[in-house]
Every structure is written in structure tokens, then in C-alpha cells.
């Protein structure tokens, strides 16, 4: 009986040792992966910072001014002064001139499905009576 | 003693007393056994306790480690730098404007350095190496490089900072002993726009592996600690500056300096409600990416690095008259329709105070301000008294340097009269004898029109609005000041600053430039302090030109009404739409009343 117990515990010790070794190595592998990822994130962040700086440089006020001046015949951009002040919604969206006639003009009402021939009656607001 | 011994005794000694001896022996034996059992038991118990203690300790350690792992924060992303790895947190925070556009940011670059000893050990001819390096990179001198490379020991810098392209080119040369180190450099994508606000950086400590950047001037220096804070490195610092407005204002001031042949110019645009500086221009300026050498003669002559808005103290002239009017109204010394004696000149202490042009002998306070009468404000200032004047100007912040978050602001300490007597009170009432920065004036005017609250100029976005504790004048007085400023632009000396649709109000101020022992007769500083829109003021704009001159019919005009005022008009015309302000349709006063209307 005693021998069985001894054998069993030796077996268990071996199993536990194997398990703990494998876990240790797995952890080390994962740590390495994590470290690699961290470096990659660091590199990516740095790349983002560089791209941001590049974007800011390309959009630097002095550069934009120069580009506007160079392309004045194409873009026709002018300084914003009170006479030209308008909100975005006040301006007609520019139509792309692709040399083609507009095919059809679709009204939004035509797109909504209708039940039967006559449009469905509007539900009467609650609490309002005909007088 | 064994059982056999006992039997032997029993057999051999069949005599009396033997039984006793045996009993005695058995007794002793039992006792001994009990002792031994007890000893073994104790030992076993001790072992059990020991084992459980060891197990407890082990499991405790495991549990503790798990708790630490569970509670620990994920570590910072890393980047490799040369031989060692360092956390990214060594960088400096970016600076953005109020709409998130980058104004300053760190960029990874390289430093190229060489070990002459390694060069020698590899058998490389220093002449050849110097020639190759000079050919490859701009700004590397062959002779100088050769001298350095021929040295025996140490480390020499070839170029720092070097761009990635330069690094690659030098790398491709493959010269042994030439190495690269990682660096960070600071770039200012907007160039000279906002240069004085941002300031600049310097390399604080440098090794082969890294360099620490520190603020040198401007925001970079004043908020150095915040910019270095490793916990916030990922979130940029937002300033109150609007880059578009800053650019527009810089351009307009460029033109103004040319047009009026001025030596220098300052423009400050401030939010009247909380003192946020929307843009701040000081000309001449510089590009922080290519900081000029402050010791060069041509730089010394122009002083482009001086922030004239924050550290330049000038006498601001008649713009101060508004403060006198506000105080007179607020303290009940006068009302806007109170008639004031404007006969001149006033002679006091060997000084003559006179008006710029002929004026009627008596004028209402309103007209005194609109017509800008020095004699009128002087008499009112005497009625207010030196102490009250001083404390009022103190409340507005004119007695100490501003708290703007740039390193130079503490240099802008106002110049106050040594002896604040009656004469000084009179001259200060029209802006002479007390010199302050344009920023002081902006904050003062903001307090005049924002309902009467003192504001502190600030570069931080979303600055808190002042509270009732910061009140300097009553709301009624503030409303009167708005109307007064509007009247000056609508009908007074500031007409050239008018912009239809934006209800501009403002006050001119022309100060003769001081020279040792007096004032120049033909050198002035023209200032125009404006507010728009006066019905509900949002911004105050201060424009100051140093030695401006305008020629009309061959006559040189140097007053602010002819110089700074028209510049203000142009500036507001361009700035207001940029700031998202819609022009108000102006109702032209056709007729004063119905009778007049019918008769037309």
C-alpha cells in the first residue's frame, strides 16, 4: 500500500514539474510577444506622429497661401471678407461638370411606397377634435 | 533488556522479591515507551506545522504575485533606441491650437557621430572620410571635419540633428567608426505663425543615445513641466490660439508695416469674456524652426525674438482716456453729459498740457473722450485723485506684469511713475507717464466692455470666465463704455476703423516716443484699441505700430487715427468672418423722426 502511495506521489511530482516548466516557458514566450507588440505599437505611434507632422506641414498656412496663389485661375479662392460671408447650407453644392446631361431627377416623394391608390390618411393627433 | 532476559530472571531467581523487581522493570519500561512515543508525536507535529507553513508561504507568494499581476497596469509602448530600450514617455507633448491644428511636435531624427579611434583602428584615411561626409551631407565642412576626425580620442558629432535621408546616405557610405544615435527634434509646422507664442526649445542634456529637450522661451518654457509630464505625453496641449486668425493677422500686420513704414508692430486679439488670447502678433518675427542667432549684429538691430506684445512696454497714449471715463462714471465724479473745462494749456510743474487740436472751452465728458481732449481728462483726473486712479489701474492689472503663459510675460513689467503726484495723475489720464504692454491694454479694454469684470490674459483654451469677485466697474458703466467706443468709430477719430456689419468701437492713442530727457517730435507709437461687436462685445483687438507715418498730400501724418485705425478696419474685416461672425445688416438712419421723413 505504502509503495503505491510513494509511486503515485513521485508520478504527481513529475507531472507537476512538467506542468510548471511548460507554463514557465509559455509565459516567457508570451512576454516576448507582448514586448514585440509594445515595440510595434511604439513604432506605429511614432509613424503616426511623423505623418501628423507631415500633414501639418503640408497644411501650413504659408504653404496653403502659396498654393492658393498658384492655383488662383483654377480654384478662384479669395479672402473671406464680410461681403462673401455665408454658411455652408446657404451655398448650392457644386455640380461636377463631367460633360454629361443629368439623366433624371428623382423626387424623394416618388421613392416612398404608397398603400393603394390614395395616400394613407394622416393619423389625427391625440386630443384634437374637429370643430 | 528483552523479554528473554525477564524470563531468565524469572527462571533463575525463584525467590521472594523477584516479582517485585520484575514489576518495577515493567513499570520503567512502560514509562520509557510512553516517553519515546511522546517524543515521536512531538516531532511529527512539528513537521506537520513546518510543512504547512512552507506550503502556506509558497501559496501566499503565488497568490501575491497573481494579485500584483492582476492589479498592474499595462506597460508603455517601447521603441528601441540604439543599444538600449527606453519608454516612449521621454518625449515632449505636442502643442495644438484651439481647433486641434499642430503647432509644435516632436519628430524622431538621428544624430551622426564618429569615434576617430575606431576609424584609425579600421585603417580608414581621415581625409577620405572627411571628404565623403562633406560630399554627402549639407552643412558639413570638409576641413573642419578632417581636423576633428584626425583627433586621437573621444567622440565627435558629425551632424545633429540629421534627417532620415541623411542618415541613410551616411549609412550607405559604410565608413567604419561612424555611428547613429536616436534623437528627438521639435518642429513647428506653422513656421513663423505664432512664433512668439510658442517660443523655442534647446537641447538640455545630450548623450549618444538620447537628448532631452527643454523649453527656451514662450509657452515651451513657461509650461515646460506640463509639456514634459510623462503621464500626458499622448495628449497634446491645447492653446487658445486660432491658427487661421493668427495667420490672417500676421499677414495684415506685414502689410501695415510696409504701408506705414513702421519699425515694429503688435496685434493682440483677445476674447473679452475670459481673456483667452486668440492671436498675438509681434513683428518683426522669426521662424522657430530656424532660430536666428541672437548675437549676430543684424539680428541685434531688429530684435526679432522680442515679444513686443508681452514684454514691450510703451506709453499707450489716449487709449487710457477710456479708463478715466469709466472711473469717473463708476465713482460718480461725472456723468457722460457733465460739462468739463477744456481750456488750455494747463501749466503745472513746468509742464504744459495742451490739446492736439482746437476745441471749444467747455465740452461734455462724452465729447472729451470722442474728441480726445487732454486738458479735459486732466481736469477730471484731478477730481478723481492720484490714489483712486492708482488703485483703479491696479484693479485692471496695470501695476504688475501680466500672467500670460509665456516666459517673456514677466519681463513686461509696466513702468510706473516714481512719484505718483498730481502732475502724473494728469498725464496718466491721457496715457503718458505710465508704460504698459499691449496685452495689459487688451485686458483693460476687455474689462471695460465685458460687463465690468477683470480678465487675465491667458493662452489656455477654455479659461474660466471671471466671477462677481473680479468686478471692477458696474454693468451700467460697461454698457456706457461700449456706446462711447462705438461713437468714437462712428463719428470721432476712429472712423477709419469702421467695418460695416460688425459695429466696431475703439479708441485711438498716439504717444510720442520718449528719448533721453524728453520726447521725439517726429516719432510716435500709434495704438488703436478696438472692440467688436459693441452691442455684445466678443473680441478686443489692440493694434500698435512703432513709428508709423502716412503721407496725405505731401504732409506726414503720424497719429493713430491715420495709421493704426485703418489697419484695425482691415484686420476686423478679415478676422470677423474667420471667427465665424456673420455681418449684421446695418440699418441706415434715414430720418430722425416721422416729421422729417414726411418732409423728405
- Check if the beta carbon of residue B115 is closer than 8 Å to that of residue B157: no
- Quick check: A39 and B101 CB within 8 A? no
Tell me whether A77 touches chain B (CB under 8 Å).
Answer: no
Question: Is residue B232 located within the same domain as residue B248?
Answer: no
- Quick check: A57 and B189 CB within 8 A? yes
Question: Is residue B230 located within the same domain as residue B334?
Answer: no
The set of residues, in sequence order, having a beta carbon less than 8 Å from that of B281 and lying 6+ positions away, is B196, B246, B249, B250, B253, B265, B266, B267, B268, B309
In a domain, B250, yes or no: yes
Tell me whether A62 touches chain B (CB under 8 Å).
Answer: yes
Q: What is the CATH number of the domain that holds B210?
A: 3.90.1310.10
In a domain, B9, yes or no: no
**Distance between CA atoms of residues B249 and B240, nearest Å:** 15
Percent of chain B with pLDDT over 90: 55
Rounded to a whole number, what is the largest CA-CA distance in chain A? 104
B65: buried, middle or exposed (CB in 10 Å: 19+, 13-18, 0-12)? exposed
Q: What is the reported pLDDT for B29?
A: 93
**Distance between CA atoms of residues B189 and A60, nearest Å:** 6
Tell me whether B187 touches chain A (CB under 8 Å).
Answer: yes
**What pLDDT digit, counting tens, does each position of B453-477 carry?**
999 999 999 999 999 999 999 999 9
Question: Is residue B524 located within the same domain as residue B467?
Answer: yes
Question: Is residue B180 located within the same domain as residue B90?
Answer: yes
Tens place of pLDDT per residue across chain A (131 aa): 888 999 999 999 999 999 999 999 999 999 999 989 988 888 888 888 889 888 999 998 889 989 999 998 888 888 888 888 887 787 777 766 677 665 655 666 666 665 555 555 555 555 545 44
Question: Is residue B89 located within the same domain as residue B118?
Answer: yes
Tell me whether A85 touches chain B (CB under 8 Å).
Answer: yes
Catalytic residue numbers of B? 318
**Set of chain A residues whose Cβ sits within 8 Å of the Cβ of B105:** 49, 52-53, 56
Query: Considering CB atoms only, which of B77, B502, B573 is closest to A38?
Result: B77
Q: What is the reported pLDDT for B429?
A: 93
Is residue B80's pLDDT more than 60?
no
Question: Is residue B425 located within the same domain as residue B535?
Answer: yes
Least confident range from B64-78, B177-191, B402-416: namely B64-78
In a domain, B485, yes or no: yes
**What proportions of chain B, in percent to the nearest 5, are helix, strand and coil?**
45, 20, 35
In a domain, B194, yes or no: yes
Interface test with A, best of B102, B106, B281, B533 (most A CBs within 10 A): B102
Q: What stretch of H or E contains B50? A: helix B18-71
**Set of chain B residues whose Cβ sits within 8 Å of the Cβ of A42:** 77-79, 88
**Set of chain B residues whose Cβ sits within 8 Å of the Cβ of A60:** 189-191, 193
**Distance between CA atoms of residues B108 and B317, nearest Å:** 49
**Mean pLDDT across B152-167:** 78
DSSP string, B208-248: SS-EEEEEEEHHHHHTHHHHH-GGGTTSPEEBS--HHHHHH
Task: Kindly indicate the confidence band of residue B89, based on its pLDDT and cuts at 50, 70 and 90.
Answer: very low
Interface of B with A in 572-591 (CB under 8 A): 573-574, 576-578, 582-583
In a domain, B137, yes or no: yes
**Set of chain A residues whose Cβ sits within 8 Å of the Cβ of B94:** 49, 52
Domain locations along chain A: 1-62
Question: Is residue B233 located within the same domain as residue B255?
Answer: no
Residue-number span of the structural domain to which B383 is assigned:
244-290+308-578
In a domain, B12, yes or no: no
Question: Is residue B215 located within the same domain as residue B272?
Answer: no
**Distance between CA atoms of residues B496 and B543, nearest Å:** 13
In a domain, B193, yes or no: yes
Interface of B with A in 73-92 (CB under 8 A): 75-80, 85, 88
- Quick check: A38 and B75 CB within 8 A? yes
**What pLDDT digit, counting tens, does each position of B521-551 carry?**
889 999 999 999 999 999 999 999 999 999 9
Tell me whether B244 touches chain A (CB under 8 Å).
Answer: yes
Question: Is residue B568 located within the same domain as residue B496?
Answer: yes
**Distance between CA atoms of residues B304 and B315, nearest Å:** 21
- Neighbour count for residue A27 (Cβ, 10 Å): 10
Tell me whether B501 touches chain A (CB under 8 Å).
Answer: yes
Q: What is the reported pLDDT for A15?
A: 96
Is residue B342's pLDDT more than 80?
yes
Interface test with A, best of B65, B78, B248 (most A CBs within 10 A): B78
Higher pLDDT, B84 or B44: B44
In a domain, B24, yes or no: no
Question: Is residue B229 located within the same domain as residue B284?
Answer: no
Q: What is the CATH number of the domain that holds B480?
A: 3.40.710.10
Cα-trace Rg, chain A: 37
Is residue B120's pLDDT more than 90?
no
* Count of positions (residues) in chain B: 600
Question: Is residue B327 located within the same domain as residue B446?
Answer: yes
Phi–psi pair at B284, nearest 5 degrees:
-70, 155
Pairing of strands B314-315, B550-552: unpaired
Question: Is residue B226 located within the same domain as residue B251?
Answer: no
Pairing of strands B237-238, B95-96: parallel
Amino acid at each position: 500500500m505504502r509503495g503505491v502511495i510513494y509511486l503515485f506521489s513521485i508520478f504527481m511530482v513529475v507531472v507537476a514539474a512538467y506542468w510548471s516548466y511548460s507554463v514557465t516557458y509559455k509565459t516567457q514566450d508570451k512576454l516576448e510577444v507582448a514586448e514585440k507588440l509594445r515595440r510595434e505599437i511604439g513604432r506605429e505611434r511614432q509613424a503616426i506622429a511623423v505623418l501628423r507632422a507631415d500633414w501639418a506641414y503640408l497644411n501650413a498656412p504659408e504653404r496653403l497661401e502659396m498654393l492658393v496663389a498658384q492655383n488662383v485661375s483654377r480654384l478662384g479662392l479669395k479672402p473671406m471678407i464680410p461681403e462673401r460671408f455665408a454658411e455652408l447650407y446657404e451655398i448650392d453644392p457644386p455640380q461636377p461638370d463631367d460633360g454629361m446631361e443629368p439623366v433624371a431627377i428623382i423626387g424623394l416623394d416618388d421613392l416612398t411606397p404608397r398603400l393603394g391608390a390614395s395616400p394613407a390618411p394622416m393619423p389625427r393627433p391625440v386630443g384634437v377634435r374637429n370643430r | 533488556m528483552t523479554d528473554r532476559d525477564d524470563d531468565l530472571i524469572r527462571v533463575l531467581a525463584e525467590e521472594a522479591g523477584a516479582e517485585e523487581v520484575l514489576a518495577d522493570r515493567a513499570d520503567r519500561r512502560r514509562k520509557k515507551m510512553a516517553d519515546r512515543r511522546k517524543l515521536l508525536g512531538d516531532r511529527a507535529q512539528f513537521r506537520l506545522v513546518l510543512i504547512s507553513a512552507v506550503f502556506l508561504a509558497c501559496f501566499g507568494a503565488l497568490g501575491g504575485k497573481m494579485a500584483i499581476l492582476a492589479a498592474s497596469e499595462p506597460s508603455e509602448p517601447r521603441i528601441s533606441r540604439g543599444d538600449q530600450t527606453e519608454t516612449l514617455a521621454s518625449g515632449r507633448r505636442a502643442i495644438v491650437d484651439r481647433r486641434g491644428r499642430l503647432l509644435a511636435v516632436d519628430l524622431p531624427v538621428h544624430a551622426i557621430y564618429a569615434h576617430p579611434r575606431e576609424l584609425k583602428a579600421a585603417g580608414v584615411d581621415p581625409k577620405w572620410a572627411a571628404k565623403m561626409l562633406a560630399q554627402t551631407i549639407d552643412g558639413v565642412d570638409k576641413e573642419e571635419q578632417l581636423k576633428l576626425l584626425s583627433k586621437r580620442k573621444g567622440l565627435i558629432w558629425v551632424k545633429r540633428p540629421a534627417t532620415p535621408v541623411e542618415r541613410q546616405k551616411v549609412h550607405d557610405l559604410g565608413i567604419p567608426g561612424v555611428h547613429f544615435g536616436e534623437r528627438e527634434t521639435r518642429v513647428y509646422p506653422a513656421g513663423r505663425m505664432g512664433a512668439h507664442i510658442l517660443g523655442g526649445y534647446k537641447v538640455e542634456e545630450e548623450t549618444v543615445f538620447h537628448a532631452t529637450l527643454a523649453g527656451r522661451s514662450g509657452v515651451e518654457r513657461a509650461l515646460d513641466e506640463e509639456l514634459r509630464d510623462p503621464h500626458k505625453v499622448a495628449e497634446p496641449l491645447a492653446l487658445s490660439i486660432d491658427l487661421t486668425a493668427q495667420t490672417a493677422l500676421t499677414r495684415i500686420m506685414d502689410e501695415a508695416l510696409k504701408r506705414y513704414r513702421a519699425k515694429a508692430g503688435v496685434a493682440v486679439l483677445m476674447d473679452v469674456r475670459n481673456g483667452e488670447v486668440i492671436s498675438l502678433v509681434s513683428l518683426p518675427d522669426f521662424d522657430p524652426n530656424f532660430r536666428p542667432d541672437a548675437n549676430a549684429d543684424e539680428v541685434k538691430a531688429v530684435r526679432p525674438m522680442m515679444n513686443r506684445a508681452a514684454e514691450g512696454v510703451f506709453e499707450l497714449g489716449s487709449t487710457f482716456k477710456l479708463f478715466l471715463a469709466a472711473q469717473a462714471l463708476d465713482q460718480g465724479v461725472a456723468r457722460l453729459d457733465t460739462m468739463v473745462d477744456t481750456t488750455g494749456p494747463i501749466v503745472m510743474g513746468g509742464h504744459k498740457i495742451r490739446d492736439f487740436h482746437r476745441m471749444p472751452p467747455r465740452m461734455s465728458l462724452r465729447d472729451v473722450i470722442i474728441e480726445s481732449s487732454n486738458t479735459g481728462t486732466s481736469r477730471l483726473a484731478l477730481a478723481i485723485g492720484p490714489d483712486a486712479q492708482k488703485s483703479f489701474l491696479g484693479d485692471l492689472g496695470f501695476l504688475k506684469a501680466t500672467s500670460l503663459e509665456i516666459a517673456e510675460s514677466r519681463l513686461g513689467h509696466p513702468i510706473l511713475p516714481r512719484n505718483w503726484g498730481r502732475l502724473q495723475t494728469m498725464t496718466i489720464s491721457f496715457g503718458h507717464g505710465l508704460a504698459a504692454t499691449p496685452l495689459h491694454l487688451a485686458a483693460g479694454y476687455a474689462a471695460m466692455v465685458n460687463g465690468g469684470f477683470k480678465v487675465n490674459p491667458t493662452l489656455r483654451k477654455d479659461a474660466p470666465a471671471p466671477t462677481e469677485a473680479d468686478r471692477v466697474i458696474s454693468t451700467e458703466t460697461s454698457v456706457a463704455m461700449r456706446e462711447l467706443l462705438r461713437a468714437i468709430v462712428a463719428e470721432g477719430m476712429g472712423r477709419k476703423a469702421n467695418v460695416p456689419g460688425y459695429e466696431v468701437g475703439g479708441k485711438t492713442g498716439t504717444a510720442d516716443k520718449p528719448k533721453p530727457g524728453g520726447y521725439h517730435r517726429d516719432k510716435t507709437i500709434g495704438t488703436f484699441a478696438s472692440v467688436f461687436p459693441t452691442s455684445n462685445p466678443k473680441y478686443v483687438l489692440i493694434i500698435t505700430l512703432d513709428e508709423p507715418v502716412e503721407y496725405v498730400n505731401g504732409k506726414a501724418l503720424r497719429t493713430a487715427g491715420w495709421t493704426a485705425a485703418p489697419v484695425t478696419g482691415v484686420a476686423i474685416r478679415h478676422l470677423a468672418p474667420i471667427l465665424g461672425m456673420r455681418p449684421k445688416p446695418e440699418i441706415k438712419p434715414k430720418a430722425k423722426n416721422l416729421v422729417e421723413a414726411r418732409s423728405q
